[in-house]
């Protein structure tokens, strides 16, 4: 139950951050550093959700992708933010990366049984 609560709270943090017109970030002069932030943010989300609901991987994958799409659309309506296709691709890349790791882990475990 606590794992599910943590995952839900993390979704809330993402929504709250997306609702801010300007997200405070470290001032790093690397180009496209926000893509790294998206990879980390959605990688953590995927990890938390897969750990909390590990028995429904395909449904989780669908939920996470829909969540990331809705997050980008939501940002379109926030002053100072924009809806970025490349941010969405980065989010989905992180989600799929965690999904592949969990699928591989499950298959490896099944082979050992």
Contacts of 96 (CB under 8 A, 6+ apart): 61
Residue 104 is predicted with a pLDDT of 86
Long-range contacts of 84-92 (CB under 8 A, 24+ apart): 86/35, 87/34, 87/35, 87/38, 90/35, 90/38, 90/39, 90/42, 91/38, 91/41, 91/42, 92/42, 92/65, 92/68
Residue that has been written with the tokens 């893509």 in this structure: 35
Task: Answer yes or no: are the C-beta atoms of 57 and 102 closer than 8 Å.
Answer: yes
Angle formed by the axes of helices 33-52 and 2-18, nearest 10°: 150
pLDDT of 110 strictly over 70: no
Provide the residue ranges of all domains of the chain, joining segments of one domain with +: 2-20+42-112
pLDDT digits (tens, 9 = 90+) for 1-40: 899 999 999 999 999 999 888 766 555 556 778 889 999 9
Residue 4 is predicted with a pLDDT of 94
pLDDT digits (tens, 9 = 90+) for 71-97: 999 999 999 888 999 999 999 999 999
């Amino acid at each position: 139950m606590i794992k599910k609560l943590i995952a839900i709270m993390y979704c809330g943090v993402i929504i709250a951050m997306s609702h801010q017109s300007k997200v405070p970030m470290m001032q790093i002069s690397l180009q496209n550093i926000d893509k790294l932030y998206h990879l980390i943010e959605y990688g953590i989300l995927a990890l938390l959700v897969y750990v909390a609901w590990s028995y429904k991987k395909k449904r989780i994958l669908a939920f996470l992708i829909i969540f990331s799409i809705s997050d980008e659309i939501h940002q379109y309506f926030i002053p100072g933010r924009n809806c970025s296709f490349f941010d969405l691709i980065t989010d989905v890349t992180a989600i799929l990366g965690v999904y592949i790791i969990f699928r591989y882990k499950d298959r490896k475990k099944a082979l050992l049984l």
